[in-house]
């Protein structure tokens, strides 16, 4: 378990670095305080947000195929979930595996202690016999602490890989593959490229929930670092590029303003119309994923799609020994 001070120190470092960049940026991994967690639950229930519904359909209707891909040799494994969240989709798999007496340990990893504590409480009630080893940590940090001798299946759902640019995804997935043994698996949820209007609506909902979710990061900085961001002076603005597949979200300063972050002894000057880059949500084609797997030391064993082909849970296998050169 990582000390919260270490995570807070990283938050402070990321604030200094991000708000001194041109253009300024904040980091989406810090969206998830208690309020952010609740707002994201609301986002997943939105009419426009097709991602969760699409992936839930895949997990619910194709769980047998998932198990067949990761448990062919009936060897015990650790099911390691990056960004466990509320476990809505994962519980479908956990219950199915338990019904079939699959020999595994569940290792949920999340940077949000609040989310993990709620998940553990739910699992204790719903699956009292489940073996759980939760980690409040970054994904790579937690992986480094886990036994190298145990067979591993990584769950990385919710299209969280989309929060990286393509080059960042290569770096991240290569780090994961280097912590795995040959034959270990990665099950990754990925949002697929589709009509731009469909994509953009998911990040610019009519009820303003996504706007509130982005603005809440400023609220969190105010609370945790004694700053004075005025949320009424910012607006949420998303864009989507159908060629790159990148949705980008910004907060736009609606006036010239100066913000003081007291605990960092830091002044932030913003001009009228100046953007703060908040998040990337990249979409992929199936051909993009083939290339990504090849570049990071994996091979694709199976692609599982929803009925509308909006989303894929792609099952990868590490296919080499050691590290990539």
CATH code of 98's domain: 3.40.50.150
Task: Please state the rounded mean pLDDT for residues 63-74.
Answer: 92
Query: Same domain for 236 and 309?
Result: no
Q: For residue 72, is pLDDT > 90?
A: no
Higher pLDDT, 323 or 148: 148
Burial 224-255 (b: 16+ CB within 10 A, else e): bbebebeeebbebbbebeeeebbbbbbbebee
Query: Same domain for 182 and 292?
Result: yes
Tell me whether residue 206 is in a domain: yes
Query: Same domain for 205 and 248?
Result: yes
- Burial class (CB within 10 angstroms; exposed 0-12, middle 13-18, buried 19+) of 169: buried
**pTM of the predicted protein model:** 0.90
Q: How much is the pLDDT for 85?
A: 77
Query: Same domain for 88 and 140?
Result: yes
Phi-psi category of 252—alpha, beta or left, where left has phi over 0 and alpha has psi -120 to 50? beta
Query: Same domain for 84 and 167?
Result: yes
Tell me whether residue 306 is in a domain: yes
Each residue's pLDDT tens digit, 220-270: 999 999 999 999 999 999 999 999 999 999 999 999 999 999 999 999 999
Residue 1 confidence class, pLDDT cut points 50, 70, 90: very low
Could you give the angle at which helices 209-225 and 4-19 cross, rounded to 10 degrees? Answer: 110
Query: Same domain for 75 and 214?
Result: no
Tell me whether residue 152 is in a domain: yes
Query: Same domain for 184 and 212?
Result: no
Task: Please state the rounded mean pLDDT for residues 45-62.
Answer: 96
Query: Same domain for 278 and 314?
Result: no
Task: Please state the rounded mean pLDDT for residues 157-169.
Answer: 95
Tell me whether residue 113 is in a domain: yes
Query: Same domain for 87 and 187?
Result: yes
- Judged by average pLDDT, the poorest of 2-6, 293-297, 299-303, 312-316 is 2-6
Strand partners, 260: 267
What's the domain count of the chain?
Answer: 2
- Burial class (CB within 10 angstroms; exposed 0-12, middle 13-18, buried 19+) of 67: middle
Q: How much is the pLDDT for 39?
A: 96
Cα dihedral 153, 301, 57, 71 sign: negative
Polymer length of the chain: 325
Task: Please state the rounded mean pLDDT for residues 49-60.
Answer: 97
Query: Same domain for 307 and 178?
Result: yes
Task: Please state the rounded mean pLDDT for residues 292-300.
Answer: 97
Query: Same domain for 306 and 273?
Result: no
Question: What are the DSSP E strand ranges found in 205-310?
Answer: 234-241, 246-253, 257-261, 266-270, 275-282, 298-305
In terms of Cα–Cα distance, which of 180, 147, 178, 184 is closest to 73?
A: 184
Q: How much is the pLDDT for 321?
A: 63
**Cβ–Cβ contacts within 10 Å for residue 103, how many?**
11
- Is omega for the bond preceding 23 within 30 degrees of 0, making it cis? yes
Query: Same domain for 242 and 260?
Result: yes
């969760």: which residue's tokens?
Answer: 52
Tell me whether residue 214 is in a domain: yes
Tell me whether residue 323 is in a domain: no
Tell me whether residue 53 is in a domain: no
Each residue's pLDDT tens digit, 95-152: 999 999 999 999 999 887 888 899 999 999 999 999 999 998 888 888 888 878 889 9
| C-alpha–C-alpha distance, residues 134 and 144, integer Å | 14
| Half-sphere exposure of residue 310: CA atoms within 13 angstroms, side-chain side | 20
Range of the domain at 13: 4-48+196-282
Tell me whether residue 149 is in a domain: yes
> How does the average pLDDT of the chain come out, rounded?
93
- Burial class (CB within 10 angstroms; exposed 0-12, middle 13-18, buried 19+) of 289: buried
Task: Please state the rounded mean pLDDT for residues 282-309.
Answer: 98
């Amino acid at each position: 378990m990582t000390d919260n001070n270490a995570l807070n120190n990283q938050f402070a470092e990321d604030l200094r670095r991000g708000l001194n960049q041109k253009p300024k940026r904040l980091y989406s991994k810090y969206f998830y305080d208690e309020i952010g967690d609740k707002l994201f639950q609301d986002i997943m229930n939105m009419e426009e947000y097709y991602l969760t519904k699409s992936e839930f359909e895949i997990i619910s209707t194709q769980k047998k195929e998932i198990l067949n891909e990761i448990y062919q040799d009936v060897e015990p494994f650790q099911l390691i979930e990056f960004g466990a969240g509320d476990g809505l989709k994962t519980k479908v798999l956990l219950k199915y595996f338990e019904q079939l007496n699959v020999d595994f340990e569940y290792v949920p990893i999340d940077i949000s202690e609040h989310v993990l504590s709620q998940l553990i409480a739910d699992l204790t009630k719903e699956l009292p016999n489940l073996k759980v080893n939760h980690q409040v940590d970054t994904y790579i940090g937690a992986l480094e602490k886990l036994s190298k001798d145990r067979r591993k299946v990584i769950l990385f759902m919710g299209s969280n890989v989309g929060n990286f640019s393509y080059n960042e995804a290569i770096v991240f997935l290569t780090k994961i593959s280097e912590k795995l043994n040959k034959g270990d698996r990665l099950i990754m949820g990925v949002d697929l490229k589709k009509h731009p209007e469909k994509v953009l609506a998911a990040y610019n909902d009519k009820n303003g929930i996504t706007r509130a979710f982005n603005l809440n990061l400023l609220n969190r900085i105010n609370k945790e670092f004694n700053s004075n961001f005025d949320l009424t002076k910012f607006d949420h603005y998303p864009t989507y590029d159908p060629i790159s597949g990148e949705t980008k979200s910004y907060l736009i300063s609606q006036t010239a303003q100066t913000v003081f972050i007291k605990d960092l002894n830091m002044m932030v000057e913003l001009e009228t119309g100046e953007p703060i880059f908040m998040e990337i949500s990249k979409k992929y084609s199936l051909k993009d994923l083939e290339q990504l797997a090849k570049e990071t030391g994996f091979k694709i064993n199976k692609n599982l799609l929803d009925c509308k082909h909006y989303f894929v849970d792609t099952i990868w296998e590490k296919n080499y020994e050691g590290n990539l050169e």
